[in-house]
Structure 1
């Protein structure tokens, strides 16, 4: 009797510090692997804001013959990644903020928040508010807010909080909110990832801007990822969006397994899973199902005629890249 075992090689590009996301990735790899089928990852940890480092890692992954790449990007590296994906027909699966424009080979795990955010502002009938955004996440959501403001005659004070130096950020946040108070700006949208929201809210509490009369909208998908109890205890209203439903039985079962993990082996497992980590876990499931489908269809996945040089001129796209992209989107 001959036993058949299939391995698909995938890539992983993780930012330094994304320990919990990487742990969720590894958990998914173990859970979704089968007796006759599994994904084997090549992992690189890098500074995603460094386009040179991103280029090196992407090309290294491509030369190893990966079938698809999971990873993260920011504003400085998104164009590099999308360009390589389009040229080489390599699918990139990501929980990062949705990239501007359409790219056939970039698969967004994160739903776009623009429409729901505008709807929430309209629901609360805000006509004057401050919009604090992190430019490292891109500017597309800000642009939609400003376009809508022009149409509906909203008065929006837009402030970039993505370029503050770490050693001065606490002082800068306090100064910013003191200035907003002078302008009577008590309705505030925070278009930032949860770590920056946490830093901002700590300073909001320090200077007493968490009391009745203030209303904050957190414009990411991890509303319960941070501890908002002090803000709410102070009397301020806080609204937001939550993609992970911890009341769902399937999620609750996963949450139990997550809590049982050893933190030494799976860094970040000592805290509740963040939405970016949950999307990472889901991405592994998506990749596994796609490659299992291709395996069952007996599609030839070899890279004949492609030596893995991502900088070749002319570029040599992977012949099976479109098949993989379609399977991932099913």
Structure 2
């Protein structure tokens, strides 16, 4: 697919996902592309990750597993694209509906908004219950400000790897590009952990995910800075300052960019020391505002997120228009 087609596909996919998301009834009926990819990763993990093997051998097996996953996913994407190509606009529309399943604008908003609603309706316990659905840290260690920071951090990070990154790769490579990204990202979430089982086997998945998320994390930060310039209760200048100063200090090479931008825009401090399970992680703070976030700050973050999603759509439309002028 040429850029006019991939970028038009992206515009249609963003619009479709924002309008209807991924209906729960469809998920119950056929699952979701991530669950299908996840089943393949689980199979590779079971068959190729042998505890009796040495660490170098398990690392090599992890490289092979990632290569197999990407090859199968890429071939599936190319096959679907080839089948739909002869049908013109109808085929492009079907491909856009399929690509929309790789985006998470609507579901991310719903999950983060549920934390704000949970705090207001059920107090701290309601907020903890809602935030436990979207973060890996131990909710029992979180006070109300911690619950709110966790929700806002999840919003910022998942805006990057759940929306901007798949959008970037759909725009660059069509449905196949989006599927390849989603396969890499799902592999990282399943096996890219520093645990005894996955320290070596998941090394390739973790490093590859860092690489493919790099352009999107920077773009996400820019979108949040631009969105902050539109909102009267946010600061684009502070967002940009936090990104330049703090993003590189995050333990993740990518997550610090959107988190720092969100922190600076809202006048908050995000990240910092956290507890995952029983393990305390001493992360650097992003932003130099107050760590005392509230449900109202979650609402402000969601407003900023909605504007940034609109800017992403506008950018996709503009790039599609330029591509059509150049290639057609």
Same fold (TM over 0.5): no
Which has the larger share of strand?
1
- Ranked by relative contact order (alpha carbons within 8 Å, sequence separation 6 or more), the top structure is 2
Q: If you compute each CA radius of gyration, which structure gives the higher value, 1 or 2? A: 1
- Normalised to the residue count of structure 2, the TM-score between the two structures is 0.26
Which has the larger share of helix?
2
- Normalised to the residue count of structure 1, the TM-score between the two structures is 0.26
